[in-house]
Structure 1
Amino acid sequence: MKALVVRAYGAPDSFAVEDLPTPEPGPGQLQVRVTAASLNPADLLMTAGTIREMVPLDFPFVPGTDVAGTVTGLGPGTEGYEVGDEVFGFGAPPSFASGVGIPAVTSGALAEYAVLQAGPYLAKRPPKLSPTVAAALPSTGMTGLAVLELGRFQPDETVLVIGAPGGIGSVVVPLLARRSTVIATGTTGDREYVRGMGAADVVDHQRTDLIEEVLRRHPQGVDAVVNLALKGEDVIAATRALRPGGRLLSTTPGTPSHPAVTTVMGTTNLKADTLPTLAEHALDGTLPDPVTRAYPLSGAVRAYRDLAGSHTRGKLVVVVDAEAAR
């Protein structure tokens, strides 16, 4: 089979589409013919070696955790699925899955075939939900729903969402805007995009000092901050935008400890109905189509280059099987 292959830690320029043996499903697993797979910033953290102490990779490594496709094989003891079922879901490298204690393993989604674990991280794809949208939902959707649950946002609250144009923002902003007032960060070019998702106001973080501008508009501070972009001490600095007693929820890796900060990992906050709920929101129009760019498998290296080197909105998706994606 064709697959995007990483042979050593490094930048996307070192990736290549190569031939690899087709993976076979083990106990409790499914083999899936991949229709589409979406990219996540965590893929680049893993392949660069940035988090190798937490997630050591075995090479050759096939990246990709979010996938939609057709079941083509069942491992021993796998129940609830049949060959031919259309599915979508999440799977992590074995080292990540074991490290955080989640039953979700994959051989890598950026390939013609992938092995996935049956369980709550996998669901049947509704017929009216396109494979490309389905592939874009799992990681960002799981994290977005976890943010909303843990944040306990109220109708009279004002919430600053930092990193609103990205993949997780495409879930958080429209769902949060249904219950609270959302201030979103974004560039001038992002303004209409994030307003279209429901943001009441937009702060250009490139042209202003973000925190000072938020406090100028809201002198008493905002009720909550959802951080989807800042890292390290910049996360702690963002707590200055909070009113007394406010809270900050952060999804970025390595978020420092602080009394007002809660770190959110969607992969460990999964509920049994998470993936079906995301599908329902996508089908009823609550969630906009998150796919902003699509690439063929032959263009997967370029897709990761774009993710690493440019400002992106929504989700980048690799269409592995163009015929099945129609």
Structure 2
Amino acid sequence: MKAAQITGFGAPDVIRIAETARPAPGPGEVLVAVEGSSVNGHDVLVRSGRVKVVSGRTFPIGVGLDFAGVVVRTGPGVEDHRVGDRVWGTVHPRRRHTLAGAAEYVVVPADRIAPAPATLSGVEAASLVVGGSTALIALTDIIGLTSRERVLVRGAAGGVGTAAVQLAHSMGAFVTALAADGHATALSELGAGLVLDRSATTPEHIGPFDVIIDTVGTQLPRYRSRLARGGRMATVVLSGPALRAITFSSVHRSRRIRTFSADPRSALLRDLTAHVSAGALRPVIHHVYPLADVATAQNAFERGGVLGKHVIRIAGKAGKQSCAF
């Protein structure tokens, strides 16, 4: 089988497409034939060597945190999944993987997958796994969003941001999206009641907000100051400056900056499937790449500035078409 693997820490060109043995599932595991995987910040952190304590220093290292595909084999003790089931899921973000989501096959514990939405292709489903689950955790478990609250989504054009806009809107919130001006129409269609140009907006001139979802990680104290009494803020960025701001904000109690590490399991993925099935969440894909172009996809991800996800098509016709929704 073919698999994208990191051969050394560095720029995207350290990624190679290797021929390797197809893995076999052990007790409690499933083997999935992968149809799609997406590019996420976690992939960049692993490839750059910034999380060596997690990834280790032994190569090769697998590429791809998430995946969607079809179960082709189950290990002993697996009862909830059958061969032929269409599923989506993730590899464990804090363990080393020689093979990961950007491969023709991947083995994972059965509690890391759930039935994928029937209405989505493998590529479409893969685009929602990490962004959708992260946004759902932030809004429900971390923030506890309620109807009619005023929500600011900062970095609204990315994978987490587009999902947060849609989910917050479906929960009855009034959503303000902060992103590049060129994405205003698309974000409005996703549920944003107001879209602000990030290049022409300063924190001091907006708000107040009941909830702020941050996917950028800079100027966190300035944005935290825009919270209303009893407001809550969460960031998905764990950089040095962000962690310092989070620590210093602890004196503000309810208005402190919260953070978390998303690690979706079956129950959360089932909830995410329900939101897709209810029409509350849809894929936002910027570009689809064949497996051979994983390095190109990571390069494009790091450049930023686009609406939606960079997705890797593993199975089926390898296309490079772009799609908005």
Q: Same fold (TM over 0.5)?
A: yes
Matched position secondary structure for 1:196:
helix
The answer to whether the 8 A contact 2:157-2:308 is kept is yes
The answer to whether the 8 A contact 1:132-1:291 is kept is no
Deviation at 1:321, TM superposition (A): 0.7
Provide the rounded CA distance (Å) in 1 between the counterparts of 2:20 and 2:83.
22
Unaligned runs of 5+ in 2: 251-255, 320-325
Does residue 284 of structure 2 align to residue 293 of structure 1?
no
Matched position secondary structure for 2:183:
helix
Provide the rounded CA distance (Å) in 2 between the counterparts of 1:318 and 1:154.
35
Taking the TM superposition and a 5 Å limit, the aligned residue runs for 1:1-326 are: 1-56=1-56, 58-92=58-92, 96-97=94-95, 107-119=99-111, 121-149=112-140, 150-178=142-170, 179-208=172-201, 210-214=202-206, 218=207, 221-231=208-218, 234-254=219-239, 255-256=242-243, 257=247, 258-259=249-250, 260-267=256-263, 270=264, 272-322=266-316
The answer to whether the 8 A contact 1:5-1:60 is kept is yes
- Identity %, equivalent residues: 30
Unaligned runs of 5+ in 1: 99-104
Q: TM-score normalized by structure 2? A: 0.86
Residue in 2 that maps onto 1:102: none
Provide the rounded CA distance (Å) in 1 between the counterparts of 2:192 and 2:87.
32
Deviation at 1:282, TM superposition (A): 2.0
Deviation at 1:18, TM superposition (A): 2.2
Shift of the 288–128 alpha-carbon distance from structure 1 to 2, 3 Å rule, reads closer
Q: Deviations over 1:154-197 (max 9, x none)?
A: 33422211111110112211121232111111111111121111
Post-superposition, which runs of at least 4 consecutive aligned residues in structure 1 deviate over 3 A? 270-273
RMSD: 2.3
Deviation at 1:126, TM superposition (A): 4.3
Q: Deviations over 1:60-113 (max 9, x none)?
A: 0111121111222222333322222222111125xx149xxxxxx783011111
The answer to whether the 8 A contact 2:290-2:318 is kept is no
Deviation at 1:5, TM superposition (A): 1.6
Letter in 2 for 1:168: V
Provide the rounded CA distance (Å) in 1 between the counterparts of 2:317 and 2:270.
25
Residue in 2 that maps onto 1:101: none
Q: TM-score normalized by structure 1? A: 0.86
Total equivalences in the alignment? 306
The answer to whether the 8 A contact 2:4-2:103 is kept is yes
Residue in 1 that maps onto 2:323: none
Shift of the 77–198 alpha-carbon distance from structure 1 to 2, 3 Å rule, reads same
Provide the rounded CA distance (Å) in 1 between the counterparts of 2:107 and 2:2.
14
